[in-house]
Structure 1
Amino acid sequence: MTSTTRYILIGAGLVLAQWVVLQHLGIWGATPDVVLLFLAWLALRVSRRTAALSGFALGFALDIAYGTWGMHALVKTITGFLLGSVTLSDDRDAVLIQPNQAFLGGFLLTLMHNGLLVILLALQAQTSNTFLVNALWLGSSLYTAVIATLVVWLAPRDTR
C-alpha cells in the first residue's frame, strides 16, 4: 500500500471517528479535533501544496458530515498551507515530537484554527455568545492539546 493511499484511509477513518464518536465525548460542549492533529502531523511531512490540498479534502469531508458548508474546508486549507510552509530539516519523516511540544503546539494550533472557525461561525449565524468562546474556542483547544499529548506519549518512538 502506498503512503498516499494509507494517508487517505487514515484521514477518512479519522473524519468518520470525529463525526460518529468524538463529537459525543464532549466536556462542557468542548470536543477534540483529531482531524486537525492528523493534518498537522501530515503537513510537517509533506509539501505546502499537498498539505493545503489535504486540509481542503479533510475540511470538505467534515463540512459534509456537519453541514457547515465551506467553513471547515477554508479553515483547514489555511491551516494546512501555513503548517506546510514550516521549514524543517531535509528528512521530514525523522521529526520526533516530545509530549510537552505536542501539548503547546497542539494548543497554539487549535487556538488559531478554532479562533478562525469561531469568527466564521459567528459571522454566519450573526450572533455572539459565550459558548463560542468558552467551549468551541478555548475548551476545544485545550481538549485537543491534551489528546495530542496523549497520542505522542502513547505512540511508539523510533530513536534511530
Structure 2
Amino acid sequence: MSYSARRLLVALGVFALQWLLLGRLQIYGTYPDGVMLYLTWYALHEGRQRGMLTGFGLGLAMDTVYGTWGIHMLTKTLVGFIVGTFAVEDRKPLLIQPQQAFLGGLVIALLHNGLLVILLALQTEATNSFLLYGLWLGAALYTAVVAYIASLFMQ
C-alpha cells in the first residue's frame, strides 16, 4: 500500500473516531477535536500544501456531518496552512513531549476554536456566553488534554 493511501486511511479513521466517539464524549457541552490534532501533526510532517489539502478534505467531511457548510472547511484549511509553515525539514519521526503536546494543542485549539466561534456567531447570529466559555475556551482545554493523553501513547 502506498504512503498516500495509508495517510488517507488514517485520516478517514481519525474522522470516524471524531464522529463516532470523541464527538460524544461531551463535558458541559464541549468535546475535543481529534481531527484538528491529527491535522496539526500531519501538517508539521508534510508541510503547508499537503496540510491545507488535508484540512480542506477533513473540513469538508466535518461540514457534511455537522451541517456547518464551509465553516470547518475554512478553519481546518487555515490551520493546515499555518501549522504547515512550521513543518520539520527532517522526515524522521517527530518526538513530542507530553508538555509540548498540551501547550501546542492548547494554542492551536484556541486559534482554531476562536475562528470557529466567530464564524458560527456570524452565521447563526448567536450572542450567548457558551460560545465564548464552552466552545472556545472549554473545548480548547479539552482538546489540549486529549493531545497530552495521546502523546503519552505515541512515545
Separation in 1, partners of 2:83, 2:112: 11
Deviations 1:13-55 (CA, angstroms, capped at 9, x unpaired): 1112211222111000110000000000000110211110000
Q: CA deviation at 1:92?
A: 3.4
Q: Where does the alignment leave 5 or more consecutive residues of structure 2 unmatched? A: none
Aligned match of 1:137: 136
Q: Does 1:50 align with 2:50?
A: yes
Q: Where does the alignment leave 5 or more consecutive residues of structure 1 unmatched? A: none
Separation in 2, partners of 1:117, 1:92: 31
Separation in 1, partners of 2:134, 2:80: 23
Separation in 1, partners of 2:48, 2:147: 22
Aligned residue pairs, count: 155
Separation in 2, partners of 1:151, 1:106: 11
Separation in 2, partners of 1:2, 1:100: 33
TM-score between the two structures when normalised by the length of structure 1? 0.93
Q: Secondary structure at 1:35's aligned position in 2? A: helix
RMSD: 1.0
Aligned match of 1:79: 79
Q: Percent identity?
A: 49
The residue type equivalent to 1:115 in the other structure is G
